[in-house]
Structure 1
Amino acid sequence: MTTIDDGDRNDKMCLNALYTGIIITVIAVCIPEVSLQMCSGSRCGECLVTRGCAWCKDRDYGFDRCANMNKIIDDGCIDIVKRKNHTLQIIQDDDFSDGGPRKDPIQIKPQRVKIKLVPNADGLELPIFYRTARNFPLDLYFLNDPSYTMRSLVSTLNNLVNDIAGEIATLTNDFRFGLGTSMDKVIMPFTRTDPRSVEFPCGDVAIYCDQPYSFIHRQPLTRNIQNFRAALSRVNTTANTDITEGLFDGLMQVMVCGDRIGWRRKSRRMVIFATDINFHQAGDGRFSGILEPNDCLCHLDSNGKYTKAEIQDYPSVGQILQKARENNINVLFVIGGEDNAYVRRVYYDNLAAFLPGGIDKASALNTDASNILRIVGDSFRRLRDTVKLVTSSLPEELVLTLYTDCNTNGRLNDSTNICTNLTLDKTANFIAYIQSNLTECPDKNTFTFTIFPEGLEERVNVDFEHVCDCDCQLEPEAEPRSPKCNGRGRYECGTCICDDGWFGETCDCDGRGTETEACGTESGICNGAGNCTCRKCDCLPGYSGEKCECNDQNCRSHNGLLCGGPAHGRCVCGECVCNANYTGDACDCTTITDTCRDKNGTLCSDNGDCECGRCRCNVGYRGPVCRRCQNCPGTCENNNDCVECIGFKQGRYNETTCNRKCRNVETVPLLEEASIDNGTSVTVCVLQDEFGCIINFNVHDLEMGQRILIKSTKRCPPSPPDPLTIGLSLSGAIFLIGLLLLVIWKILTMLYDSMEYSKFESEIQNPAWEQSENPIYKECVTTVQNPLHDTEGNGNSGF
């Protein structure tokens, strides 16, 4: 391995670095300042992707480990991890070489580098140098159109082959020539297939022509000029039917049949594509029923003949461009014929501009093809003296910009990858400015791409890596299966990265299985009142229980406090747990009886029970210690709860309390009138319950105690009318009225029809026909009255 500095170019490198620094400074000034981003990330590498962020790897650090540098320092962090810098390491940097026997030429350096780039940071500069080798190998393949109109090219090549070799030798002494001819598919409508046309494709018996074919590889690349001339001498004219020709079939085979053609791994590969007419392309094959697309593979038989011509369609322009780039083929279009200017302009100039090599226009062949020597020489000079750097397999997250000083008298040009007018002694200096547009670490950190001269096999191989992990994330600083993480995780940068199924600051929480299995209930995870942590429910404030099933806010209150407040008790799972000396549903009852004793120390004067620090007097007694008489006001009120409980199963007593306190209460159909009989008094009581109903009961004071009789029925206010009943009644009434009207109408209709029918029958039985003359009837005898007959005075006169 070497460094990027060479003693023979220190001055130039300094100058290039100065220019590059100026350009980068201008770019930095022109680009708006990126606003500060929030620092975040659970691991060191994720954190440091954001500019201005740092990571604290102190083990006992109690704040956010990923934060702004100043904040981490202010919070007392000692061991701080900062962002790394880009690194460039040159792996292979062989010096330039002109080539020669058993020695490969070298035109570009360095050949392999390793770059470590930090995402979301400024770019890195990679210097690249190119110099034309004096004897760089040339492989020159002639792909000719063997039609009658191109016959002069074959004879001219045969005559000028030595001159072409001599011209090429002035540029490089390591060259080879190859030959192939391509016409068209032997299938209608491209070529006539009747026996006579196949035998005499040129249409004239006097003109000798080879039988039709698509492509024949005639001579692999060779340095033996005599073999090449012999192959030329075997080329005869042939013909097809339509005007357009199928040289794309031949060009595809020349590009993909590398072993058969003889392309060398490290050479300038040139194809002289000579024709005088436009080309068939993908889709034209359907005119002959060929629907199978071209597969871009080699299909030459042992004689060099293309075997898939009548099976596969022509290649598309896109396929030609793709294979030319993949195989570094420089295609030179040489157009002959009298109307070659039109053919070049319409069909080949635009295609040439997209092919590798930088020859952006087709060349014109004169009538006798004598300028083929100049075309070949000039084209090779242009290819040799021009370099265009391109990249392959560059990932989308990288931005690569190339600068060069070769066209600007030592000044770095603005973003150009082409250098022209090179000489054997001139070195083209490039700067590849590489920047990552990522703002976070990618899933794939490493990959390889290449920077290379278009049309050549030489490469600058770049092993690229996004630097995302901190050193403390890598061994030996990182500790796999660390005891600090209970053996269930990796200790790195002050934190534990737990194995699958475990979590927590020290990987002490078992996360295997699902939350539903550990903390699930019918009402959701932890009853919707907590979080499942370490496979246990961590309840929200106010909730408790193994799965937060207890609502500690649902207990009864006393004096506005749950369970009477901390002095009385506490709420546990919806029920009050009372302290000593307190009892009751809300811990509202004290168990101390001092307040229930009379002056003699007797509890409730033996006339009641001490409950919650107060005397609950027996029937007929009242007062703080039940010392007042039995007929004192309050007799009715004291028994209301028992009356509602026993009589109608309502009120504030539950069944247990009711059975315990109300044993002297019963229900009767009728109540007796109040009277005093045998020392027994009866108090008539009326109670209105919460529903507004009146309950009547009597309290009988007996010697053995009180007896309470309740009337079994109570009087309640009338309930509001039922809307459903009213609606159904109205609907039924309307329906009945309608039905009655319908029946009446039907009866009237039947009566009317009966009357009309009786009248009709009467008229049929007693007809009264009218007698009258027919106005159009004429009798057969006609009587005429003579006006002169029987006149007065001339009864029988005559003449």
Structure 2
Amino acid sequence: MAVCHKSSGFEQGLFCHLLLFLWIITGSFVFSSELEMCESKNAKDCKACIKQGPGCSWCKSLNFEKHGEGEAVRCGTRKVLMERGCTDLDIVSPRGLITVEKDDPLTGGEVSKSVVQLRPQIVRLKLRPGKEMKFDIDFQRAEGYPIDLYYLMDLSYSMNDDLENVKKLGTQLLEAMQKVTKSVKIGFGAFVDKTVLPFVSTNKQKLKHPCPKKNVQCSKPFGYRHVLNLTDDSKRFTNEVGNMIISGNLDSPEGGFDAIMQAAVCGDKIGWRDNTRLLVYTSDAGFHFAGDGKLAGIVQPNDGKCHIGSDLEKSSISQDYPSVGQLTKKLSENNIQAIFAVTKGVVNTYKSLQQFIPKSAVGELSEDSSNVVQLITDAYNNLSSNIIIQHNSLPAGLTVKYLSTCGNDTVTADRGECSNVKIGQKLQFQVFVKADTCPESNQTEFEIKALGLQEKLKVIIEYDCECNCDAPEHNSRNCDKHGTLHCGTCRCNDKWQGRWCNCSLQGTNAKEIEDKCKRGNESQICSNHGDCLCGTCECQQSEDSKEIIGGKFCECNNLNCPRFNNSLCGGQGKCWCDRCECNPGFTGNACDCPVDKSQCVAPSGKYSGLTCSGRGVCKCGTCSCFDIKYYGKYCELCRNCRPCIEHRDCVECKTFRSGPLAENCTTCAINVTTLKSLEGAKGAQCEERNGSSCIMKYKIDESSTTTIISVLEDIVCPQPPSALTIVPSVLAGVVFIGLLLLLAWKLLTTVYDHREYKKFEMERSQAKWNKDDNPLYKSATTTVVNPKFDEN
């Protein structure tokens, strides 16, 4: 469904309204179509029938079923039942009912002691499962709706300058809100953080004086402190807030979530009334949330309960911070609208939080909080002009949708919503309620309310799952005095059976009777398609269905057979007991195979009279060609075929009685003429070798409807070679190849040796011998002279 906004131009607005019109028409058509459909699914009583869907009705007329029909034929659409002869008075079909039990009129835009902005106040719905019901809600924004405002302030050291302005806030804030309404109350609370490391220093000196400057008056740190109940005394507010002293902590994020949780759930302690509830939260820092408590070893989840009193500080240091989901739930349950007045540095952080909390606002607070009054007033006006209608948690199987009419705009969604609503402006919402099934409890309820307002619409749901028939008639004559007549059918007493309870089971084992109605080892009685009456199956039949049930155990029908060409048994047989009984001339599981092969014979042409043109076999009236190159209805066509090769086997068979077709030449649809000479014969010249590599010469004439082939009676076969000529040739070849290989080897080795010698000569010519002393040589340390040695 398209959503049309007020900002849309004329063309877009026209388009949106056209879409709405189409949606209404289409939705009505679909809805009416659903009511005209009913699948009985073998419903055997009225209650089981109406549970099948909103389109199902039950006929309570006596003797409505015809012979062989089961009680399920009583269940169907109203149209079908009336066509079968059921009167309108005998058709049972719960339609649901809407009753408005409390509907105080709207007070309009005037100031009133008892303001009514939402009507009606109590609605009772009698719902039939599957059928959607709708009712209207009217809303008119009134002037002077009472307001409760609870001011929750961050008292960490960074907010020191803000506290001075807040101390002067009471009178200004009350005066500003009294311009909106005459009934306003204001309260005050403060927060810092959990008094454990690493959030707050646990040093004794720091616990006494947590502020960084020693000359500043500073109080002990605390988690959350409720200071002032809601009051209309501005002086008291100023006095109580004036006694507040700034405190301090270690990290930047604060424990504001703990404070919001307590302010939301401690309604009796704070003094919330059944009015518009505003919670103003001011801070210059971010917030801790669920999971951060683990930094201090706190693993116990927040329980979402009120702890204002003696155990407030104890619960603060023993329980983790609340999660965003917990806060959203508690604020919604207690109908509290949150206004986050925060400094510029953290505005984006709180805008991200705003997306998860409905009916909340974020405003940028000046560095000294001097604009807080104007910020709260603007945020309230914005919140109060945005009307959101939604329900609380729904019972299982129930769905609720809203169609909102906001001036000229219409929106369909899971909740009703209109923005920029002025005082005195009247809105209308349509609520669509639908139940899927009939629950165990026949009555339940839920509430619809406008977020931020205490007015509620109570919706009481009763499920219409019973048939409105006459009172049960016990031992009725229509049941042979052996059963109870209710909604047109008999419920037999013990030891009696049958549609009219006329079958006695006295002295008979009921199990033995049922076993007679079971086929073989099956557990189903009468194949689940009939009733067992005194040991005999009475099969169910239905006039609005083409299905026929029969057989000793109702195991046979006329619809559960194979199909061919989308027809049962190919339209050439009858179906019974899962098998096709084919008409003469047809066979196969689905009677899809004609016995006559005439459909596989070409009526004319050169292949006329031949089954599948001699190129295939006839299967179920269709030719199956031998080779993929043949195609066509009669395999008469050939792709990439060459006539000479195509007719080669037939020529060899008919002329020389040899070849692959030698045993069955009848498949060849050609006329073969043997000639001594082909001169003068018509057709294309062919020369093909047979399996013995003999050359056959023939001409093919396909000019007429019959292929005529003229074959030369002489066949040329190759002579085998002589061994005397082959052996010398082979030996000469071997010797020649050997000589070539030897010559090549000798040439390669000579070239290689020559290259290596040249390389050696070049290296020798480039060698330079060092004539210096050998560095490793050492002269003798002792010289021995032979005195008898004469050099001369």
Q: Which whole-Å deviations, capped at 9, do the CAs of 1:35-56 have from their partners, x for residues lacking one?
A: 8443342222432454554422
2:267 paired with 1:273: no
For 1:748-763, list aligned pairs within 5 A.
none
SS of structure 2 residue aligned to 1:250: helix
SS of structure 1 residue aligned to 2:316: coil
Q: 1:489 to 1:197 in 2, by over 3 A?
A: farther
For 1:415-434, list aligned pairs within 5 A.
415=413, 417-434=416-433
Q: Report the CA distance between 1:492 and its aligned residue.
A: 2.1
Match of 2:572 in 1: none
Q: Which whole-Å deviations, capped at 9, do the CAs of 1:196-241 have from their partners, x for residues lacking one?
A: 1111111433222111111110111111112211210121111112
Q: Report the CA distance between 1:251 and its aligned residue.
A: 1.0
SS of structure 2 residue aligned to 1:135: coil
Q: Report the CA distance between 1:27 and its aligned residue.
A: 2.9
Q: From 112, 117, 140, give the equivalent of 1:107.
A: 117
SS of structure 1 residue aligned to 2:279: strand
AA partner of residue 206 (structure 1): N
Q: From 182, 186, 192, give the equivalent of 1:183.
A: 192
Q: From 479, 487, 490, give the equivalent of 1:493.
A: 487
Distance 2:182 2:443 in 1: 42
Distance 1:317 1:224 in 2: 33
2:210 paired with 1:201: yes
Distance 1:32 1:68 in 2: 12
AA partner of residue 495 (structure 1): T
2:258 paired with 1:249: yes
Range 53-62 or range 25-34, more displaced = 25-34
Match of 2:380 in 1: 380
Match of 2:59 in 1: 56
Distance 2:503 2:206 in 1: 87
Q: 1:478 to 1:431 in 2, by over 3 A?
A: same
Distance 2:122 2:509 in 1: 52
Range 31-40 or range 59-68, more displaced = 31-40
Q: Report the CA distance between 1:508 and its aligned residue.
A: 8.3
AA partner of residue 452 (structure 1): K
Tell me how large the CA RMSD over aligned residues is: 4.0
Distance 1:21 1:86 in 2: 26
Q: Which whole-Å deviations, capped at 9, do the CAs of 1:291-311 have from their partners, x for residues lacking one?
A: 111110111215x94430111
Q: From 230, 235, 239, give the equivalent of 2:239.
A: 230
Match of 1:725 in 2: none
AA partner of residue 120 (structure 1): G
Match of 2:364 in 1: 364
Q: Which whole-Å deviations, capped at 9, do the CAs of 1:25-73 have from their partners, x for residues lacking one?
A: 2434588956844334222243245455442212333343224545544
Q: Contact (CA 8 Å) 1:332, 1:352: kept in 2 or not?
A: no
Match of 1:321 in 2: 328
2:288 paired with 1:297: no
Distance 1:171 1:368 in 2: 25
Q: From 397, 412, 419, give the equivalent of 2:410.
A: 412
AA partner of residue 42 (structure 1): K
Distance 1:495 1:452 in 2: 46
Distance 2:161 2:193 in 1: 20
2:181 paired with 1:172: yes
Distance 2:275 2:511 in 1: 68
Q: From 40, 44, 50, give the equivalent of 1:42.
A: 44
Q: Contact (CA 8 Å) 1:526, 1:539: kept in 2 or not?
A: no
Q: Contact (CA 8 Å) 2:110, 2:143: kept in 1 or not?
A: no
Runs of 5+ unmatched residues, structure 1: 1-16, 542-799
2:153 paired with 1:144: yes
SS of structure 2 residue aligned to 1:115: strand
Match of 1:216 in 2: 225
SS of structure 1 residue aligned to 2:453: coil
Q: Which whole-Å deviations, capped at 9, do the CAs of 1:529-584 have from their partners, x for residues lacking one?
A: 9988999983789xxxxxxxxxxxxxxxxxxxxxxxxxxxxxxxxxxxxxxxxxxx
Q: Contact (CA 8 Å) 1:100, 1:135: kept in 2 or not?
A: yes
Q: From 75, 81, 97, give the equivalent of 1:87.
A: 97
For 1:615-634, list aligned pairs within 5 A.
none
Distance 1:320 1:107 in 2: 27
Normalising by structure 1, we get a TM-score of: 0.57
User: Number of residue pairs matched?
Assistant: 506
Runs of 5+ unmatched residues, structure 2: 1-16, 67-72, 539-792
2:342 paired with 1:335: yes
AA partner of residue 279 (structure 2): V
AA partner of residue 463 (structure 2): H
Distance 2:114 2:92 in 1: 45
Q: 1:262 to 1:374 in 2, by over 3 A?
A: same
Distance 2:106 2:499 in 1: 58
Q: Contact (CA 8 Å) 2:57, 2:92: kept in 1 or not?
A: yes
Q: From 97, 107, 127, give the equivalent of 1:97.
A: 107
Q: Report the CA distance between 1:189 and its aligned residue.
A: 1.3
Normalising by structure 2, we get a TM-score of: 0.57
Q: Report the CA distance between 1:188 and its aligned residue.
A: 1.1
Q: Contact (CA 8 Å) 1:47, 1:53: kept in 2 or not?
A: yes
SS of structure 2 residue aligned to 1:310: helix
Distance 2:399 2:201 in 1: 54
Q: From 249, 259, 263, give the equivalent of 2:268.
A: 259
2:460 paired with 1:460: no
AA partner of residue 319 (structure 2): Q
Q: Contact (CA 8 Å) 1:402, 1:432: kept in 2 or not?
A: yes
AA partner of residue 311 (structure 1): S
AA partner of residue 320 (structure 1): L
Q: Contact (CA 8 Å) 2:207, 2:220: kept in 1 or not?
A: yes
AA partner of residue 388 (structure 2): K
SS of structure 1 residue aligned to 2:352: helix
Identity of aligned residues (%): 29
Q: Contact (CA 8 Å) 1:142, 1:273: kept in 2 or not?
A: yes
SS of structure 2 residue aligned to 1:412: strand
Q: Contact (CA 8 Å) 1:515, 1:535: kept in 2 or not?
A: no
Q: Contact (CA 8 Å) 2:109, 2:423: kept in 1 or not?
A: no
Q: Report the CA distance between 1:466 and its aligned residue.
A: 3.3
Q: 1:95 to 1:427 in 2, by over 3 A?
A: same
Q: From 442, 446, 455, give the equivalent of 2:443.
A: 446
Q: Which whole-Å deviations, capped at 9, do the CAs of 1:752-778 have from their partners, x for residues lacking one?
A: xxxxxxxxxxxxxxxxxxxxxxxxxxx
AA partner of residue 310 (structure 1): I
Bigger Rg, structure 1 or 2? 1
SS of structure 1 residue aligned to 2:317: coil
Q: Contact (CA 8 Å) 2:54, 2:129: kept in 1 or not?
A: no
Match of 2:356 in 1: 354
